Amino acid sequence: MTTYECAKALTHDEFASWSRGGAFALVEYLEQLEEDCGMSIEFDHIALRCEYSEYKSLQDFAEQFWLTSSQRLTRDEVIKDYIEHRSTLIEFDGGIIVQDF
């Protein structure tokens, strides 16, 4: 499948809510991972839906995952560091994708 076909499959998954930019960012990340590791990754939109989540921003992730309203001023660098030490962070124009942990 091409990058476009994979991203299209993600955005057409009725049980997921990938943005167009997020879908392309995830597929491009996986393609780069394949190239870097020298292995083939089988495209499975259901597994990807279960393994990765898209957020509008680092603050959006933090608010949904662990911040209370009194902690909303946590700097993006702190949130980014938190994610990167526990998971995979994919940043793209329009949001972020985090590998669920």
For residue range 33-65, list pLDDT tens digits in order: 999 999 999 999 999 999 999 999 998 998 887
Taking phi first (over 0 means left), then psi (-120 to 50 degrees means alpha), and beta for anything else, what does residue 10 get? Answer: alpha
pTM of the model: 0.88
Reduced to 3 states, what is the DSSP secondary structure of residue 76? helix
Q: What share of the chain is helix, strand, coil (3-state, %, to 5)?
A: 55, 15, 35
- What confidence score (pLDDT) does residue 29 get? 98
- What confidence score (pLDDT) does residue 74 get? 66
Check: CB of residue 99 under 8 Å from CB of residue 88: yes
- What confidence score (pLDDT) does residue 63 get? 84
